[in-house]
Amino acid sequence: MKAAVLYSTVPAPTPGAGPGKRTYSDAGPLLVQELDQPEPRAGELGVAITYSSLCHSDLSVVDGSRVRPLPMALGHEAVGRVVSLGEGVEDVSVGDHVVLVFVPSCGKCRACLSGRPALCHRAAEVNGSGDLLHGPALLRTPAGERINHHLGVSAFADYAVVARESVVVIDDDVPDTVAAMFGCAVLTGMGAVLNTAGVSPGQSVAVFGLGAVGLSAVMAARLAGAASVIAVDPNQGKHQLARDAGATSVGTPEDAARLIAEASGDGVDVAIEAVGSAAVIASCLEQVTRGGAVVSVGLPHPSAQLTVPALQFAGAGKRLLGSYMGDAVPSRDIPKYLGFWREGRLPVELLHTDTRPLGEINEGLDALASGQVVRRLFQA
């Protein structure tokens, strides 16, 4: 099998550093190499990856802001076909069309038993250590060196062994270029609006950050019947995409206060922070009305600290909610969201910028970091 492996982190290129600045393409942090192809153990299955999708969470591992054990085969959003089954896997068949998800819930911990599998304690443990839900890491170089798994998936590859709990079976007729984006971007952005915030018809919603997750949140807000959806991003190249996704008004961060005032008077009911910035979270708290909610979806650097007026909570009834993987139940939500797509109510195709061969993965890091793409798919 072949996979894109990260052996050491590379700092993010400095914006505006001039024509001589070092890029990810120059540094080549991801090495596409041959690995020994493992067989699935009990509770696992083998998947032939058809398309994988590059996400900012992958980028944050590459630049070191999301600390993971190295070396690691990256990638956590993908679609494929089941090619082999481990012992005890009886509800999936060889040939099944599957979306991979990056939290393989154990079904036994406090979070899983309370209906919140996205916060599975066991999954957090093994995802952090680079192992799989049912056992230690399987990936090895031909020389025998251990390669860690990324979020139980390691999707920048042509093959992956994953836990049964890491896949959701979908219908055969869903195009792979659509399905590839459901395991993270759509699940996270849609879930933040529908599950975490519980947006109701007639409410006002502002979405800060128009990557694939933020644009999915825009789609979800319109789907939920929000009366106004304000989309905010400094990259004006994404503004038309936001309008196409259902935003009623679009602008830069400098426009946000005016757009929100025009749409809702004293603040929006819900603000979705999909940037990964403590400063944006603080700004969102100022932009919601009394009793409003801010949903934090992005992943700030671990050292980032949040300082806000404490009186906003008890004094104004505002809420700050964390949302990991959109508080999703993947086996429930992915089929539901695919149903919305079938009905023409979820234009997920807008997220797909282009498709490239896996060998161009480092160039893809540059394109994502610079905001040139929303979701670039890779074919091994």
Length of the chain: 380
CB 43 within 8 A of CB 133: yes
CA-to-CA distance for 219 and 129, rounded, in angstroms? Answer: 34
CA-to-CA distance for 345 and 99, rounded, in angstroms? Answer: 20
pLDDT at position 22 is 74
Per-residue pLDDT of the chain (380 residues; tens, 9 = 90+): 999 999 999 988 765 555 556 789 999 999 999 999 999 999 999 999 999 999 999 999 999 999 999 999 999 999 999 999 999 999 999 999 999 999 999 999 999 999 999 999 999 999 999 999 999 999 999 999 999 999 999 999 999 999 999 999 999 999 999 999 999 999 999 999 999 999 999 999 999 999 999 999 999 999 999 999 999 999 999 999 999 999 999 999 999 999 999 998 899 999 999 999 999 999 999 999 999 999 999 999 899 999 999 999 999 999 999 999 999 999 999 999 999 999 999 999 999 999 999 999 999 999 999 999 999 999 98
Q: Which structural domains are found in the chain, ordered by start?
A: 2-180+347-379 (3.90.180.10), 185-325 (3.40.50.720)
β-strands 72-73, 148-149 pairing:
parallel
CA-to-CA distance for 200 and 269, rounded, in angstroms? Answer: 10
The neighbouring-strand residues paired with 31 are 5
Which pTM does this prediction carry? 0.96
pLDDT at position 34 is 97
Question: SS3 string of the chain?
Answer: CEEEEECCCCCCCCCCCCCCCCCHHHHCCEEEEECECCCCCCCEEEEEEEEEECCHHHHHHHCCCCCCCCCEECCCCEEEEEEEECCCCCCCCCCCEEEECCCCCCCCCHHHHCCCHHHCHHHHHHHHHCCECCECCCCECCCCCECEECCCCCCCECEEEEEHHHEEEECCCCCHHHHCCHHHHHHHHHHHHHHHHCCCCCCEEEEECCCHHHHHHHHHHHHCCCCEEEEECCCHHHHHHHHHHCCCEEECHHHHHHHHHHHHCCCEEEEEECCCCHHHHHHHHHHEEEEEEEEECCCCCCCCCCCCCCHHHHCCCCEEEECCHHHCCHHHHHHHHHHHHHCCCCCHHHHEEEEEEHHHHHHHHHHHHCCCCCEEEEEC
Q: State the angle between helix axes of 278-287 and 256-264 in degrees (0 to 180), rounded to the nearest 10.
A: 30
Q: Answer left, alpha or beta for residue 110, where phi above 0 means left and psi between -120 and 50 means alpha.
A: alpha
